[in-house]
Amino acid sequence: MNLDTASEQALLDLPHSVVMIEKNKSVVREGDAVSHAWLVLKGFCVRLKYVGTGGRQIVSIHMKGDLVDLQNALLGIADHTVQTLTPCKMAKLPIRAVRQLTDTNPAIKDALWHDTLVDGSIHREWVANVGRRDAPTRVAHLLCEFALKLEAVHLGEQLDYELPMTQDQLADATGLTAVHINRVLRDLEKNGLIERITPRSVLIGDWKKLAAYGDFRSDYLHLDMAKRRAQGR
């Protein structure tokens, strides 16, 4: 999550409603006029775009503490869809109240701006990932990103977690097909880069090995530097 605790609290001090949303539901649809921003309290969701031929591309994955759809809300018209992967608990914040908060509290505005800057940095890495890495590298990279993000919000061990996504959804995130994702995961396992007890579980035996294989350097996530350095990542 790119928001600091104080800013998150300030947002939650705004009048808002808390909503439970079942899995595979669109919270916001591309093209909608948007009047609310959504803060994920629990569960996983993605932002995605549909392309002409019927395909879809997931452009980011979100979890607890992420403010999704601030982008849509501030620009007025949604340029992408927000969809849940799992049942989600979300805070629904009227964009008008958010604006008022940022206008009276420059520190919050800076924090939210910073959030959009990090968001952009992650997008750039994704462009590079889907544009220039081959399939196994691309998938390994995604697994690494997911691992670090999960750990950053204390949702699990970095080296042992459950993917909240089907192979179809992994395919939409990497620009591949579900069938190929399946084969790539099998090969990653065969090559000792991950272990899988169930299809969704990921166990990373050697972080450095997987990160090297996946061409993963965590800088673009702009997570807490000191912490990562202490852990040698």
Number of H helices, E strands in the chain: 9, 10
* Contacts of 206-210 spanning 24+ positions with Cβ under 8 A: 207/147, 207/158, 207/159, 207/233, 210/140, 210/143, 210/144
Residues in the chain: 233
CB of 182 to a second copy, least distance (A): 18
Name the binder of 180 from DNA, a second copy, none, CB < 5-8 A by kind. DNA
Q: How many residues bind DNA (CB under 7 A)?
A: 19
Told to check if 26 binds DNA by CB under 7 A, we report no
Neighbours of 82 (CB within 10 A): 28
Among 8, 66, 69, 125, binds a second copy (CB under 8 A): 125
CB of 58 to DNA, least distance (A): 14
Told to check if 135 binds a second copy by CB under 8 A, we report no
d(CA 163, CA 147): 9
Query: Would the CA dihedral through 92, 14, 59, 166 be positive or negative?
Result: negative
* Residues 26-55: x where in contact with a second copy by CB under 8 A, - otherwise, as a string: -----x---------------x-x-xxx-x
CB of 11 to DNA, least distance (A): 31
Is residue 61 within a helix (H) or strand (E), and if so which, with residue range?
strand 56-62
Told to check if 162 binds DNA by CB under 7 A, we report no
Q: Which two tokens stand for residue 18?
A: 């808390």
Task: Using CB under 8 A, list all residues that contact a second copy.
Answer: 31, 47, 49, 51-53, 55-57, 59, 71, 74-75, 77, 79-80, 103, 106, 109, 112-114, 116-121, 123-128, 130-134, 137, 174-175, 215, 219-220, 222
